[in-house]
Homo-oligomer: A and B are copies of this chain.
Amino acid sequence: MNIDMIRAANRRLEGHVRRTPLLNSPFIDEIAGRRVWVKPECLQHTGSFKFRGAWAALSAMDPDTRAKGVIAFSSGNHAQGVALAAKLHGVPSVIVMPEDSPRLKINNTRAIGAEVVLYDRATEDRDAIGTRIGAEQGLTLVKPYDEPEVIAGQGSVGLEIAQQAADLGITKAEVIVCCGGGGLTSGIALALEADAPGLRVRPAEPEGFDDVARSLRSGGIERNKTMTGSICDAIISPQPGDITFPILKRLVGPGLVISDAEALQAMAHAFNRLKVVAEPGGAAALAAALFRKDEIKGDDVIVTISGGNVDADMFARALETLS
């Protein structure tokens, strides 16, 4: 896993992914106490950065292997990313999803053309299910984060941030990334190490699901006690990956931890000030910039909004925080 793989993936993504802008608002800067630059990957195809990694993985596969189809397990964003990348490559896909995933994500994944298999997040092991079905049907598993080509694809976000920060004259800043298994976080960290060494990544996670923050503190991989109970479904994973964690350990700063209530407030600010739709997990980094300002250094902070796939009733809850 290295920067050359990220640059190669970035070239394969050319013309297929959206190059998302950096947004800002003086109203958000005021709350955060510094300038906040927002990378809205909710505007990416399928509504999250996951399409980048999925495209990178499928485009790197041997054509004969790819033609047999792919399988993925995901709470929804990786699901949609893989489903669309498979559709655009003209190959079948099977997606294994927790049965408590947001309805929107399940419906979208089906509508894109994937076969969706649901499982119980509390009692069943998604890796085991994915591996079994994949073997039965000759499908290649596209892991959500612990997979070099997927990390390389997500790293393209970091290449864009490096360029956009340079265009703004920003040479030193913290870059807060919504962090589940660490694919986006490690990809961005590797890209910034190469192209913008003054930019340091900080992972953002929800309270009670701060496996990465705890792992960074202890120096070894720590697991979450449970997989249910947060509205930030997009960034809940059991533990940092075997490939992602060493990268995180080497390159990123201490984790930032936010509450579900703060994620909802950040969604409301993104609605009100940036005019973009963030899902709870996708708003974790913005929430950290807004509500953990004493734990952040410098005049500029860059945050990802990693996804926007949220049901209307959850979004209505976020809007209520404005009144």
Contacts and interface: CB of A to CB of B under 8 A. Distances in A.
Interface of A: 18-21, 23, 26-27, 40, 42-43, 47, 104, 108, 111-112, 268, 271-272, 274-277, 308, 312-313, 315-316, 319-320, 322-323
A136 B179 CA distance: 56
A21 B47 CA distance: 15
A112 B323 CA distance: 21
Contacts of A20: 21
A319 B271 CA distance: 13
Contacts of A43: 21, 23, 274-276
Contacts of A276: 43, 275-277
A275 B272 contact: no
Give this chain's copy count. 2
Contacts of A268: 312
A-B CB proximity, top 8 nearest = A275-B308, A312-B319, A275-B277, A42-B275, A312-B322, A316-B316, A47-B275, A271-B277
Contact of A271 (B23, B274, B312): B312
A47 B47 CA distance: 20
Given A18-B21, A21-B43, A112-B26, A104 B272 contact: yes
Contact of A316 (B18, B42, B104, B319): B319
A49 to B, nearest CB: 12
Nearest to A48: B275
Contacts of A319: 312-313, 315-316
Contacts of A308: 275
Contacts of A272: 104, 312
Contacts of A27: 108, 111
20 contacts: A19-B21, A20-B21, A23-B43, A26-B112, A27-B111, A42-B275, A43-B274, A43-B275, A43-B276, A47-B275, A268-B312, A271-B277, A271-B312, A271-B315, A272-B312, A276-B276, A276-B277, A277-B277, A312-B322, A315-B319
A108 B111 CA distance: 39
A93 to B, nearest CB: 15
Nearest to A15: B167
Contacts of A275: 40, 42-43, 47, 276-277, 308
A126 to B, nearest CB: 26
A112 B26 CA distance: 8
A312 to B, nearest CB: 4
Contacts of A313: 319, 323
Contacts of A104: 272
